[in-house]
Amino acid sequence: MLTEFIFLFLVAIFAGFFGALVGIGGGVIIVPALTLLFHLPIHMAIAASIVSVIATSIAGARSYVDQQITNVRLGMFLEISTTGGALIGALIGVLMHGYVLSLIFGALIFYMAIMSYRSRNKEEKMIDSGAYDAMQLDGVAKKLQLEGTYHDVALGRDVKYNATKPIAGSLVASLAGVGSGLLGIGGGVIKVAAMNTMMSIPMKASVATSKFMIGVTAATSAVVYFIAGGINVFVVAPVALGTMLGATGGSIVMNKLHSKVIKMIFFLLMIYLGYEMIAKGLSMGYNINLPGLM
Amino acid sequence: MAIDEKHLEAEIQDINKIVSIILATGMYTTMFFYIFGLILVFARGTPIPRLSQQYFHSFGDFFAALFSLHARAFLYLGTITLILTPVSRVIISIFAFRREKDYKYVGVTTIVFLIILVSVIVGSVFKISVG
C-alpha cells in the first residue's frame, strides 16, 4: 500500500515538473499513467487528473506571478473563452460522437505542433529585433490594454510586447476550454499556441499566463466531477501533492531555459498528443487500431 | 481615455500581489489537509478504495469523521480547498479591480465568475439526467 502511494507521488512530481516547463496542467501525463500503470478506471483517472491539474496550476501560476512573467489581464480576458468553452464542451460532448472530437483535436494539435516547430528559432530573433514590442495593439486588445513586460533570465533583459488578434486568439482559447470540459485536461497546449502563434505574445509570457488560466478552467470541470461523486480523494491526495512539488520546481527552471528548448519540448509533446488523439478517434469510430506509443 | 501607463503598472503590481497571496494560502491549506490525511492513512492502515464513493451522507457524518480523525475527512477537506482556490481567485479579483477603478476588468472578471456558476448548474442538471 505504501509503495502505491509513493508510486503515485513520483509520477505526479514528473507530470507537474514537465507541465510547468511547457505551460500545461500535466493531465495528459497523469491520465495515461493512472490507467495504464495503476489500472484505475478511466473516469476515476480523469477526475483525479482534473483536480491535480488545478494543483499544478496553483503552484506554477504563483511562481510565475511572483516572477512577474504572467500577464494577469490577458489571462482574465481569455478566461471568458476558456470557461465558456468548458461549458460548451460539456454540452457538445453529449451531442457529438467522441471519435469525431478526438480526430478534430488530433488534427488541431498537429497543426499547432508544426507552427511551433517552424517558429522555434524565430522567438529569440523576434525578441532581439524588438518585433514583439513593435506589434500594434488592435481592436479589443487596445481597449483592454493587453500589453506587458517581463524579465527574461536566459536572455538577461526585459521583453516588451503588444497583443494582436484578440478575437481570433480567444476563439482558439475557447477550444482549450472545450477540451477541458470533454476530456478532463487543462488545455494548456492550446492556450499557449493561441497566445504565442496567434496573439504575438512571447513564449514565456504565454506559458506563464496559460498556467494562470488553467486553474479556473479545470476548477469548472472539477466541480462537476465533485458534484457527480467521481473523485477518489485517496488517489487525488498523493497525486495533487506530487504535482504541486513538481510544478514549483519546473516553474523555477523555466525562465532559465532558452525558449528554443521549451519550444522543442512543446513540439515533441504535441506530436505525441496529436498521435494519441487520432489513434483514439480511429479506434473508437472505425475500429482501426494504430500501434500505441506508450 | 485609457488608464495611463504609471497607473497600469501600479495596478498590475497590486493585482499580482493579491493573486499570489490567494494562491499561496490555498496551496498551503490544501497541502496541510492532504499531508495530515495521508499521515492518518498510514497510521491507521486505511486501505485505498478502488472505487470512488459517497464519502459522507450528511454534514453531521462529515463532522463526526473529522473529529474522530478519519483520514477521508481531511482528504476531502483538502480537495474542496484545492477546487475553491482558483474560484476564490476570480471572486477576489473582481473586488481588486474595482478598488483600482478599472471597471472594464471588473466586467471581464464578473463574466468569468458567472460562467463558472452556470457550469455548476449545468453539472447538476447533467447529474440528474445521467442518474
Does pLDDT of B1 surpass 60?
no
B79 contacts A233? CB cut-off 8 A: yes
A218 contacts B27? CB cut-off 8 A: no
B37 contacts A79? CB cut-off 8 A: no
C-alpha cell at B98: 474595482
Query: Residue B33: what pLDDT?
Result: 94
Measured between CB atoms, which of B82, B90, B118 is closest to A240? B82
A76 contacts B41? CB cut-off 8 A: no
Chain A residues closer than 8 Å to B54 by CB:
229
* pLDDT tens column, B55-103: 666 777 777 878 778 888 898 899 989 989 999 889 988 888 888 788 8
Query: Residue A122: what pLDDT?
Result: 67
Closest chain B C-alpha to A230 CA, distance in angstroms: 6
The residue of chain B with its CA nearest to that of A236 is B79
Specify the residue for cell string 472545450: A178
CB contact, 8 Å: B92 with chain A? Answer: no
Chain B residues closer than 8 Å to A229 by CB:
52-54
CB contact, 8 Å: B16 with chain A? Answer: yes
Specify the residue for cell string 480526430: A103
Rounded to an integer, what distance in angstroms lies between the CA atom of residue A126 and that of residue A135? 11
* pLDDT tens column, B22-53: 888 998 999 999 999 989 888 877 766 665 55
Chain A residues closer than 8 Å to B119 by CB:
83, 86-87, 90, 220-221, 223-224
Residue segments in chain A with a per-residue pLDDT below the cut of 50: 94
A229 contacts B54? CB cut-off 8 A: yes
Query: Residue A91: what pLDDT?
Result: 63
Does pLDDT of B129 surpass 50?
no
Query: Residue A196: what pLDDT?
Result: 84
What would the DSSP string read from start to end of chain A? Answer: -HHHHHHHHHHHHHHHHHHHHHT--SHHHHHHIIIIIS---HHHHHHHHHHHHHHHHHHHHHHHHHTT---HHHHHHHHHHHHHHHHHHHHHHHHS-HHHHHHHHHHHHHHHHHHHHHTTTHHHHHHHTTHHHHSPP-THHHHTT-EEEEEETTTTEEEEEE---HHHHHHHHHHHHHHHHHHS---HHHHHHIIIIIS---HHHHHHHHHHHHHHHHHHHHHHHHHHT---HHHHHHHHHHHHHHHHHHHHHHTTS-HHHHHHHHHHHHHHHHHHHHHHHHHHHH---PPP--
Query: Residue B130: what pLDDT?
Result: 38
Does pLDDT of B3 surpass 60?
no
Measured between CB atoms, which of A54, A65, A143 is closest to B82? A54
The residue of chain A with its CA nearest to that of B108 is A77
Q: How far is CA A166 from CA A83, A142, A175, A292, B19, in A?
A: 16, 9, 15, 37, 23
B55 contacts A144? CB cut-off 8 A: no
CB contact, 8 Å: B108 with chain A? Answer: yes
Q: ipTM surpassing 0.85, yes or no?
A: no
Chain B residues closer than 8 Å to A230 by CB:
52
Query: Residue B29: what pLDDT?
Result: 94
Q: Which among B73, B37, B117, B83 is positioned nearest to A5, based on CA atoms?
A: B37
Query: Residue B128: what pLDDT?
Result: 41
- The 8-class DSSP code of residue B48 comes to P
A65 contacts B19? CB cut-off 8 A: yes
Angle at alpha carbon of residue A106, lines to A100 and A108, rounded to 5°: 105
What would the DSSP string read from start to end of B75-94? Answer: HHHHHHHHHHHHHHHHHHHH
CB contact, 8 Å: B36 with chain A? Answer: no
A144 contacts B105? CB cut-off 8 A: yes
